[in-house]
């Protein structure tokens, strides 16, 4: 079993910084007498460090992109979904310190908590090893993993693309159906189906009905393009 430091590829000189990065406010509130501090201050700093590193990366990689496009790309790269994916790859959830209520409510898997903890870990590395160490980590777990391409893929409107493709096939009809949902209210996963001429053609999942329909439309496009 890999330790978190092995997953991060970084060994802390001051282990207390990493411990603080993993302490959710619910845990700190339950241990006020012990002088526990939540990771919220680290999250604030980590957000800034992540923004600088990502801006520098995009500025150098895309010398001809205007400011507006760079801003949109940066926002998409550092959004909750991207940071949640990083947290999952690092198995950050199992290392978090949560209060009893948050633990029982599924906080260890909650995307917002995991995304915030990811920023806190970035800040902890920055404070322990400087900007170079933080930048290396952010590049390794986020920027150098093809996530920019994944972001661009998510920005595509698969439903519109599918509609245009189906319209070119005379006599074909297109529709969507919600198949069902799973999970607790704070972390529901929806499943939607694409109906082509009244028959289920593909399915997809997402954290909202809209995301599920987009995923189903993307799967349908892939099938049609391979046919």
Beta strands per DSSP E along the chain: 174-182, 189-196, 199-206
User: Is 47 tagged catalytic?
Assistant: yes
Which residue is catalytic, options 85, 119, 128, 148? Answer: 119
Place of tokens 């550092």: 78
* Residue 149 annotated in ligand binding: no
* Residue 69 annotated in ligand binding: no
Place of tokens 């001809």: 64
The secondary element (H helix, E strand) that includes residue 79 is: none
Which residue is catalytic, options 19, 30, 47, 211? Answer: 47
Place of tokens 């790309």: 73
Instruction: State how far the Cα of 32 lies from the Cα of 99, in Å rounded to an integer.
Output: 12
Distance between the two ends of the chain, CA-based, in angstroms? 43
User: Is 81 tagged catalytic?
Assistant: no
* Residue 119 annotated in ligand binding: yes
List, as residue ranges, the binding site for Mg(2+): 43, 116, 119
List, as residue ranges, the binding site: 43, 116, 119
Q: Which residues are catalytic?
A: 47, 119
């Amino acid at each position: 079993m890999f330790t978190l430091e092995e997953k991060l590829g970084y060994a802390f000189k001051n282990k207390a910084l990493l411990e603080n990065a993993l302490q959710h406010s619910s845990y700190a509130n339950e241990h006020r007498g012990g002088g526990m501090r939540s990771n919220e201050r680290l999250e604030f700093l980590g957000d800034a460090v992540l923004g600088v590193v990502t801006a520098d990366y995009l500025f150098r990689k895309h010398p001809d992109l205007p400011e507006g496009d760079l801003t949109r790309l940066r926002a998409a790269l550092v959004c909750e979904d991207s940071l949640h994916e990083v947290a999952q790859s690092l198995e950050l959830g199992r290392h978090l310190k949560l209060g009893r209520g948050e633990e029982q409510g599924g906080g260890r898997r909650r995307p917002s908590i995991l995304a915030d903890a990811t920023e806190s870990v970035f800040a902890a590395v920055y404070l322990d090893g400087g900007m170079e160490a933080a930048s290396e980590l952010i590049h390794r777990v986020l920027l150098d993993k093809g996530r920019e391409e994944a972001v661009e893929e998510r920005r595509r409107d698969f439903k519109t693309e599918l509609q245009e493709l189906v319209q070119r096939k005379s006599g074909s009809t297109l529709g969507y159906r919600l198949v069902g949902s799973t999970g607790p209210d704070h972390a529901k996963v929806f499943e939607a189906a694409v109906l082509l001429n009244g028959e289920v053609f593909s399915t997809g999942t997402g954290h909202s009905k809209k995301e599920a329909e987009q995923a189903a439309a993307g799967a349908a496009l892939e099938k049609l393009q391979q046919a």
